[in-house]
Structure 1
Amino acid sequence: MAQRQRPTSLRDRARYLFDRTLARSTGALLGWLALCCLAVVVPVSALLVWTDPAAPRSLSGRLTAVWRTSAETLRLGGVTGAPLRMLLSVLLGLITLLCVSTLVGVITTGLGDRLTELRRGRSTVLERGHAVVLGWSDQVFTVVGELIAARAEEGGGVVAVLADRDTAEMQTALAPAPGTAPGVRLVCRTGSLTDPAALALVTPAAAASVLVLPAEGADADLEVVRTLLALRAALGARTGPPVVAAVRDERHLPAARLAAGPLGTVLETEVTTARLLVQAARRPGLPAALRDLLDFAGAEFHVVDAPDHLVGQDFGGIALCFEASCVVGFLTADGRALLAPAPDTVLAAGDRLVVVARDAVTAASAVPVDCRPAVDPTAMAAGGPEAPEPSRVLVLGWNRRAPLVVDLLRRTVGPGSRLDVVTGPNGGARPTTGPDGTDRLDVVFRPGDPVREETLRGLDVFGYDRVLVLAPDPEAGAERPDDRTLLTLLVLRSLEEETGRALPVVAELCEHRSRALAPLGPASDAVVRGELTALLMAQIAHGPELAAVFEELFAARGGALALCPAGDHVTPGREASFATVVAAALERGACAIGYRAHGAGRSGGLRLCPRKDERRVWGAEDEILVLTAAPGGSEDAHRTDGGRDRVPRMRLSHEGGDSPSGLSLG
């Protein structure tokens, strides 16, 4: 039996009728509005008249007073008399009300559009000597944060960001916390990066530097090239400021460097990330050390003029001439960087010093002091670092950087090493032998999904010397790339907790916000894709002369920065000064620039540029951060027929004009 229908109430019928009437047209809405106004104004006007002691006594007089009060309230005029005159008065009042309402609407719309336009950031930046950031990607947070920190150290300035996004959203996402950047102002503008008119909003011609960030997507590098061309069109015949850009695919490097021009520096993200992954796997704790060294929060690289009396002296003596900064090489008069040169290398006239110091003022104003009396030769360790031994490496996942990682591992591991790769059937290309046909690294591919717990439990993960977790490419699927990486790390972390053993894991992440979420163990590191490139871009934008330094720094086989056991330089258990460590490193062809005490943790605790006379008892598990020379010597790294371990040059090499024939890729 059907359920008996509930009778519709009068209230529901009235509401339904009212909704249907409002949905008909604007006229119906105005009618209801007028009816509601009359239903309120007329009774209140009548109450005012009937409670007024001076009101007329007659009914017609009071009704006329009610009409006048209501008409004045509704701005319809108060004409009395014949009905036609009253009707004309109402019509005139309605026309006046319509005109006034239209005028108010036009003014409101115009002001609203203007406020919206101002909110979008369409006014031109008038400052000079500011930093300009073009583009939006996950690297923008690192780049803008470092530029703001650098400007804050200098006493203030402006950082302008142009991207095809809402200005308010960019301002909210990038604005530093109150009080963290005194005197620094962040300006965001909205516009197309490939439109010279939009680029003019941030006044690139008056900027101190321009940074072009790589975007995501298949055509990201082509967008960078178009932006560089638009920047050249916006600057016209003017030389313009130094330009720092980055691309993801090395195939687009020549075109990007041509578009950037002779003052441009172009970095390649994929190779840099692959090198950092291999460095972190070979030397645990190095990512955190690199972040400390390349950000503006502590000590960083500087190029300073050498005092006249140091010209003609050898590098071994100069390295022990500064108490609170570390000299790591020379920048020659022709622009070549000699990092960790031989101790007998002489400083020539016109050469500059490459130092690691707390700030530019400390580096430039440091007074040379002979620190050799603080060196204790009896505390130096005998011998040198051992040759690399065979190792077992496990790679979980595959992406477009994986072939670079495999190639770099092949060049740096000891003979007889083994690399196991766990990836799905569509993992990508599968190299089995090295480019030179050697068997230094045996590569074996194993099917399986690294996210599944049974896959990892089926592996003897604790039998590997290091584990690399590679993030999927952003365009590989609809999900966020870091989700699979975080799941893999969660399974590995659970295995660590079950066995009570630490697993040396290096995880690649795509977003910097994922680092705080990553379940990393005590022996694990996280490398954020593109973070190192972003730090390098900020450093080069702040000091363009550092381009040659960083080119040489990251051109050496496997990287020129290393965390070495303190026992390689000083005798464990002996008290010695840091000058002793520096002298011991010089004998081994390296430059010591800091140390990390045992127990400080891999995510921090690095002490850069300690005073040469600082003394402490060095433990066997303490670590020394050193900078080593390229294989074969720093001078060999600049040969035009450089080896395959060199990264391509960051800049164009010109001998006559801005022509494609002047392109040099090392």
Structure 2
Amino acid sequence: MANRDGKGGRGLGARLRYEFDKSMAAGPIALIGWLAVLSIILIVIAGAVITLLGITPEGSGPLDFGEAVWESLMRTLDAGTMGADAGWAFRWVMLLVTLGGIFVVATLIGVLSSGLEGKLDELRKGRSIVLEKDHTIILNWSASIFDIIAELTIANQSRRRPRIVIMADRDKVEMEDEIAQKVPNLRNTRIICRSGDPTDLGDLAITSPQTSRSIIVVSPEAEDPDSRVIKTVLALIHDPDRRAEKYQIAAEIRDGKNAELAQVVGGNELQLVLADDLIARIVVHSSRQSGLSAVYSELLDFDGSEIYTIEQKAIEGSSFGDAMMAYDSSTLIGVTDAEGKVWLNPPMETAIRPGMKAILIAEDDSTIEVTASPLNVDHTAIALYRRQEQTAERTLLLGWNRRAPIIAFELSRYVAPGSMLTIAADTPELQADVSTLMISGSNLQVEYGIVDTSSRAALEGLDIPSYDHVLVLGYSDHMDPQATDTRTLVTLLHLRKIAESAGAHINVVSEMIDVRNRELAEVTRADDFVVSNKLVSLMLAQASENENIGAIFGDLLDEQGSEILMRKAEAYLELGQPMTFYTVTEACRRRGEVALGYVRKRPGMELDARKMGGVVVNPRKSETLTYEAGDKIIVLARE
């Protein structure tokens, strides 16, 4: 059948209605436009009627068209204006105009209200583009994000107008409220939240990665989080509209098996933080050296001394050993070559060539300077070399989670022959997990038992005082963080009572999931607490600021690299006499080691506001102290 207008339409009326519908779909602006047209028509018609029919208010002369239109306009905008009108003909015309005006104004108010509500809903969705420069972007959402923000606000204090942009698949207002609740002190940093999928190129563009200073990709609270992290990195790196300059990306990967794929995707623009490996290695190192977790926390957070990689023209041409002595308020721990490769504690005779950068521990990059003052080294206070022989160790592991196999493997790389690891936990998969443990070499033997680690009687049956080290892990694979830490606290309290009953000191290192529970855990008097989420957050924050931090900590925590050790002061020094830290540095330099600090536990140390337990990293070398039995020197050594 042919169309009635012969042009493929359905008549003029239908086409006009279609055009009207299209204009209405344009939104509030179109609605306001139609109301304006309607108002003009109403006012013009009323003005024309008054002029043509000669209708005038009583006691007034004839109105021209302009005056009639003005009178109509006033009554359209304000219904009360017609109250003073006189003459019934004029009143009837103005009544009709006023009623039309009421309809127009009421509709206009409704349109404006609806438009504003829609705009607020749009703003709540967080879909507007971020127009910032030199900002830090955090992608995805997890419990680690609050510690990351807290650390970045400290690092940003010296910057002008610092911004942190967060994008996650969550409601924008909910994110802002939660951040305001858990990170109340943002200092001079402003937080900007956006809702979206970080794996989507269109959503990523909202955060303006092309103008960012650094990007942090946290492991999301979702199934298969590593896949989402890798896909996010892929979207950043291979975005067709990406900038030409390289990004500085720090990404969290939970399973080390996915690290190789992530590195292939990210290339030299990506620093990986292997969360489980990082925590497991620090647990192992801390278990063998009480107080070591405080050293790692000091190097990782921004409140105190941290690691900087910076060009230092003043030491070019010097040997590494001589350059170590050139700083009073900073500690030189290594160098990077022209290609950016990290060398921690290189041989003392290593020449520092142009193009190399110094790796230093300092309170702030502004405090790094070569000191011209003469060295104050007391050679008579340096003791003869006393080598400490390694002996077999017995370690007890209480509790179980996905990091336990990594801990067992790391432990097997360090212990002496004849060492024993006893595993006691009550998870359903314990037997299967233990049967698949990977152990390096034959130095470590493993035994296990199904034990309720929250039972005092069960723990006493393990003869805990006979162990050299006790590691307490949370059941985080089966419980939420608070329930996990609660059970860990119960175990720690039992261990404290067992130690008191036996009149012995038990070297206990515990993993805590939530940093807020650390203060509660201190009543148990464990030697060290490794706060899992906190360490990962610190590492991600540092990696976003220092492109070499991943390689530096990879070297520190690897058996083949340089290692932070805490050794008795008498192994380096003659005790009981005052000396500067220059002397300590020289004593370590003679053994091919770097002196990082010391541990001096004195009365009142428990009042330390930062809870360092007597650990001091990067002291001034000109500071004079007297070391006594029980004091330790913190060194960076290759052993």
Q: Give the TM-score taking structure 1 as reference length.
A: 0.75
Render the CA deviation track for 1:175-221: whole Å, top value 9, x for unaligned: 49999554322222221111222222221110011110112444010
Task: Specify the code of the residue in structure 2 equivalent to 1:377.
Answer: H
Q: What is the rounded CA distance, in whole Å, between the counterparts of 2:182 and 2:478 in structure 1?
A: 33
Structure 1 SS opposite 2:454: coil
Q: What is the rounded CA distance, in whole Å, between the counterparts of 1:480 and 1:177 in structure 2?
A: 20
CA contact (8 A) 1:410 1:434 kept: no
CA contact (8 A) 1:598 1:623 kept: no
CA contact (8 A) 1:451 1:487 kept: yes
Quote the offset at 1:624 in angstroms.
2.1
**Which residue in the other structure is 2:264 paired with?**
258
Quote the offset at 1:607 in angstroms.
2.6
Q: Is 1:580 matched up with 2:586?
A: no
Quote the offset at 1:503 in angstroms.
3.0
Aligned residue among 149, 152, 156 for 1:151: 156
Quote the offset at 1:235 in angstroms.
5.9
Quote the offset at 1:534 in angstroms.
2.4
CA contact (8 A) 2:290 2:528 kept: yes
**Which residue in the other structure is 1:429 paired with?**
433
CA contact (8 A) 2:163 2:189 kept: yes
Q: CA RMSD of the aligned region, Å?
A: 3.5
Task: Specify the code of the residue in structure 2 equivalent to 1:486.
Answer: L
**Which residue in the other structure is 1:288 paired with?**
294
Render the CA deviation track for 1:515-567: whole Å, top value 9, x for unaligned: 23335533432112243332222222112144433332233359712222222
**Which residue in the other structure is 2:218 paired with?**
213
Q: Is 1:623 matched up with 2:626?
A: no
**Which residue in the other structure is 2:484 paired with?**
481
Q: What is the rounded CA distance, in whole Å, between the counterparts of 2:320 and 2:118 in structure 1?
A: 64
Q: What is the rounded CA distance, in whole Å, between the counterparts of 2:179 and 2:567 in structure 1?
A: 37
**Which residue in the other structure is 1:12 paired with?**
none
CA contact (8 A) 2:305 2:363 kept: yes
CA contact (8 A) 1:136 1:215 kept: yes
Q: What is the rounded CA distance, in whole Å, between the counterparts of 1:281 and 1:233 in structure 2?
A: 42
**Which residue in the other structure is 1:656 paired with?**
none
Q: What is the rounded CA distance, in whole Å, between the counterparts of 2:236 and 2:478 in structure 1?
A: 28
Q: What is the rounded CA distance, in whole Å, between the counterparts of 1:521 and 1:598 in structure 2?
A: 19
Task: Specify the code of the residue in structure 2 equivalent to 1:592.
Answer: A
Structural mapping, 1:293-332, within 5 Å: 293-307=299-313, 310-332=315-337
CA contact (8 A) 1:216 1:474 kept: no
Q: What is the rounded CA distance, in whole Å, between the counterparts of 2:304 and 2:146 in structure 1?
A: 19
Q: Which runs of 5+ in 2 are unaligned?
A: 1-78, 84-94
Structure 1 SS opposite 2:263: helix
Structural mapping, 1:165-244, within 5 Å: 165-175=170-180, 182-234=187-239, 236-239=241-244, 240-244=246-250
CA contact (8 A) 1:199 1:234 kept: no
Structural mapping, 1:303-382, within 5 Å: 303-307=309-313, 310-363=315-368, 365-371=369-375, 374-382=376-384
CA contact (8 A) 1:316 1:586 kept: yes
Q: Give the TM-score taking structure 2 as reference length.
A: 0.78
Q: What is the rounded CA distance, in whole Å, between the counterparts of 1:497 and 1:450 in structure 2?
A: 18
Relative distance call for 1:247 and 1:436 in structure 2 (3 A) is closer
CA contact (8 A) 2:165 2:191 kept: yes
Aligned residue among 555, 559, 567 for 1:556: 559
CA contact (8 A) 1:490 1:519 kept: no
Structure 1 SS opposite 2:234: helix
Relative distance call for 1:475 and 1:229 in structure 2 (3 A) is farther
**Which residue in the other structure is 1:140 paired with?**
145
CA contact (8 A) 2:156 2:162 kept: yes
**Which residue in the other structure is 1:33 paired with?**
none
**Which residue in the other structure is 1:36 paired with?**
none
Q: What is the rounded CA distance, in whole Å, between the counterparts of 1:330 and 1:298 in structure 2?
A: 21
**Which residue in the other structure is 2:396 paired with?**
394
Q: What is the rounded CA distance, in whole Å, between the counterparts of 1:484 and 1:529 in structure 2?
A: 16
Task: Specify the code of the residue in structure 2 equivalent to 1:136.
Answer: W
**Which residue in the other structure is 1:278 paired with?**
284
Count of aligned positions = 548
Relative distance call for 1:332 and 1:559 in structure 2 (3 A) is closer
Q: Is 1:465 matched up with 2:471?
A: no
Q: What is the rounded CA distance, in whole Å, between the counterparts of 2:482 and 2:601 in structure 1?
A: 40
Render the CA deviation track for 1:290-333: whole Å, top value 9, x for unaligned: 1112211111111222325x333222211111111111112112
CA contact (8 A) 1:206 1:241 kept: no
Relative distance call for 1:148 and 1:172 in structure 2 (3 A) is same
Q: Is 1:508 matched up with 2:511?
A: yes
**Which residue in the other structure is 1:127 paired with?**
132
Relative distance call for 1:114 and 1:552 in structure 2 (3 A) is same
Quote the offset at 1:603 in angstroms.
3.5
Q: Is 1:609 matched up with 2:618?
A: yes
Deviates more, 1:241-250 or 1:227-236: 227-236
**Which residue in the other structure is 1:45 paired with?**
none
CA contact (8 A) 2:320 2:349 kept: yes
CA contact (8 A) 1:205 1:235 kept: no
Task: Specify the code of the residue in structure 2 equivalent to 1:422.
Answer: A
